[in-house]
Structures are given as structure tokens and as C-alpha cells.
Structure 1
Amino acid sequence: MSQFTFDAEVRTEIGTGASRRLRRAERLPAVLYGADEAPVAITLDHNKVNQAQELEAFYSQILILNIDGKKVEAIVKAMQRHPYKPKLLHIDFQRVKRGEAMTATVPLHFINEEDSAGVRAGGTVMHLVNEVTIRCLPQDLPENIEVDTLNLNTGETLHLSDLKTPKGVEFPNLEAGSDNDLSVVSIQPPKGGSDEEEGDTEADSEQTQE
């Protein structure tokens, strides 16, 4: 499991002008909220965070914020990027409270695609969602959830309820009823149908001509 730790400082200057000055100094404005505590405006080293956010686990793991010597556990809830430069503009962090269930978004990892029954038959894998919302205790938070497509045939779809979750992990969507059982991945049949179907079509054509 990945571990991210960032030094942060409480900031007293708030506003667009103050944030612009921070960014020029390679500091990243952010806010920390949640866990029944007041929000705190902070700053972090922009380059360190910008480098870390290139890793998938940055978005789905508990981060350690060392704020003026006090360590706080948090997850990323929102991020604002520059429209065309490789820079971050602002991050929202949410505190994590040990022993209290939390919701988070984690990526899906699709495995055995090339060996799946549908692909071997000429089908094409279609990813319908790439991340899902889960609920769990902080210590049970996974970096990702695997989606095994090995036994998936052409024309078939795996839904959220078909996925195997790690111990202690739940999908809030499923508690809202079957209408929220998201389609996750499917395998489309090959274009033009199977060879057998093409043969039947040719035979029908010949009979028609006769």
C-alpha cells in the first residue's frame, strides 16, 4: 500500500490575490475539512503534490498532512487544475476519523481481458465505468478493486453486484436498489457477426437466387 506524507502550513491570507501570490512562490493553496472540526486553510509544496498526483493511489489512499507539526489523516475530495499548464490550483482534503466509516472513490482494475471468453471469440471489451464509490473503515480502504473478465462472453455484462470486494468494503449504490446496480464492463460481439452467421447469410442468398 502506498503512503503519502506532505508538510503543510496554516495560511492566514485568504482570497484570490493571496492564492495567486502563493502559486507564484510554488505553494499550493488547499483546505482541510470534515470530522466535525472547523475547516482549515493550508498550503503545501506545489511540486511535491503535483508529482504525487500522477500516481493512481494518490486519489484513493489516506494521506498524511503534517500541519505545523501535527499529523492529520485525510483523503483528496476535489482538485482544481490549471486549464492548460501542468499545474495545480487548489485541493480540498477531507479529514479521516479512525473507527468511523468513510466514503471514497477508488479505481477499477480490469484483469484477464485478453484471455476472456468473449475476446477469444472475437469480441471487444467495453469499460462502462472506471471508478466506483465505496464505503469502509479507513484501515480497510483499498487502492483499487479488481474486475475479472475471464469468464465474460460476448454480449454479456458485469454489474456492480458481480464484483468481489475486499473485506469490510461495501458499495453504497447497491443499498439504493437494483436500479443503481451499475453496468461496469461488457464484451461486444465482433462486427458483422460470427463466421457461422455469415455462412447462413450466404446460403440464404444462394437459395433466393435459385
Structure 2
Amino acid sequence: MSDFEFDAEIRTDLGTGASRRLRREGQVPAVLYGGDKEPLSLTLSHNAVNRAQENEAFYSHVLTLNINGKKQEVIVKAIQRHPYKPKLLHLDFQRIVRGEAMNATVPLHFINEEESPGVRAGGTVMHLLNEVEVHCLPKDLPEFIEVDIVALDNGQSLHLTDITLPKGVELVALSKGEDSQDLSVVTMRPPRGASEEDEAEESEEPSVTNGEGDGDSETKSEE
């Protein structure tokens, strides 16, 4: 059973006006697609979904929709939000078929930052990616993926290929053959001024006398 379960109703009254009316009534319109079935227009309780989406796991868990008494496992594919109000405008769900691999977005959790040599030396951790798209069976879908940066030093980075993945999980970005991109996930920026000091030290060279103006070059006075 899913950790997130919602009641949903099939809606036949479509269009912008109908959606606005639903929102005024405390509902949020949604669409369900995938699984070799026709898309299905739905409505859900706005408050129930809005509370649930505050939990990070909402976005990477398999959810359950009770649609007119029938349960359907789904994942969230997209959420449209109001530009400035804490309000959901529309939801996109994708059907889950047990035993059939799927793509889903999973958050990254960075661990051991304070223990890394870069942070201990005054560096700053820069998160370049906060989530990744994975390909796996529904039963293998992780809630999150940990990225351990305990050994990350200043000037170093970790890439997608450095992530330790759970069993049965692949990164979509690394499964595209020659078009795959091993993107940077996190980098350690040196403390401010450190790079300038290093460059200054490297540029320092011992002074070289060219012989001009030394005692040997002076014209001796005639006796």
C-alpha cells in the first residue's frame, strides 16, 4: 500500500471555466495518462494534495488514487502552481504498471558535508543538481539517493558516474549512449581569496640581475 493515497473523481466538465470553478470549490483538476490507456481527467481535494506535497517523498513515491472505487498506482509527473499564492492549479499523474520499468525524478541527499576536507579548510559546497531522473521498476524506486562528499576537497567535483545507485536503478542521463553526459553534481569552491593567493605564489620568481649598473660595468677612472 502507498504512503500517499487520495480520493479522485472522473470529471467530464472540461475547459478553463470549469477548472476555475473547481478551484473555487476547493478541488484541483488533474490528468492521468500512460499504461496504454486513454488519458483520464480527474479532480482531487486541493487541501489533501497540498498538505501531502510538502513532503519531499510525495514526488518520488508511488501514490495511490482511488478513482470511483478502483485503486490506481501513479507517480507525479508535473505540478502547476499559482505564481504567488500557496495554491495548486493542476496535476499530471502517470499510471504505474507493476513489472514495467519507468522513468521518475528522485531527489539527491548530500551527506557528510561538514566532515569533508574542503569544508574543514573553509570551502563552500555548491550543489549543481538537486534531483536526477532514474529508470527502474516501480518496486525499486528510491525515495532519494545519497551523495557522500566526505572525501571532497577544494577544487574537486563529483559527477553522475560517481553516484552510488541502489540496486536496479539507472540514471537516464547516462543511458543515452554517445549522447550521455556525465554532468557535475556537486563541487567544492575554495575559500574566497585562496585561489588568488595560490596564483600570487606561483607567479613569484627570484629577481634576475642583467648586469647593468653593477660594479663590474663601471668605467674605471684613469690614474
Q: What is aligned with 1:187?
A: 188
Q: Secondary structure at the match of 2:194?
A: coil
Q: Any conservation in 1 of the 2:2–2:63 contact (CA below 8 Å)? A: no
Normalised by the length of structure 2, the TM-score is 0.86
After superposition, the Cα gap between the structure-2 partners of 1:194 and 1:13, relative to the gap in structure 1 and judged at 3 Å, is: closer
Match of 2:82 in 1: 82
SS of equivalent to 1:22 = helix
Q: 1:194 to 1:52 in 2, by over 3 A?
A: same
Q: In the alignment, is the contact (CA less than 8 A) between 2:2 and 2:64 conserved in 1? A: no
CA contact (8 A) 2:28 2:90 kept: yes
5+ residue gaps in structure 1? none
Q: Distance in 2 between matches of 1:178 and 1:12?
A: 42
Alignment of 1:26-175 (within 5 A): 26-175=26-175
The alpha-carbon deviation at position 190 of structure 1 amounts to 1.4
Q: 1:26 to 1:196 in 2, by over 3 A?
A: closer
Identity of aligned residues (%): 65
- 8 A contact 1:5–1:64 mirrored in 2: yes
Unaligned runs of 5+ in 2: 208-223
Q: CA RMSD in A?
A: 2.2
**4+ runs of 1 displaced by more than 4 Å?**
194-201
Instruction: Give TM-score, length-normalised by structure 1.
Output: 0.91
C-alpha distance in structure 2 between counterparts of 1:168 and 1:148, whole Å: 20
| Contact 1:109 1:144 (8 Å CA) reproduced | yes
Conserved in 2, the CA contact under 8 Å of 1:64 and 1:74?
A: yes
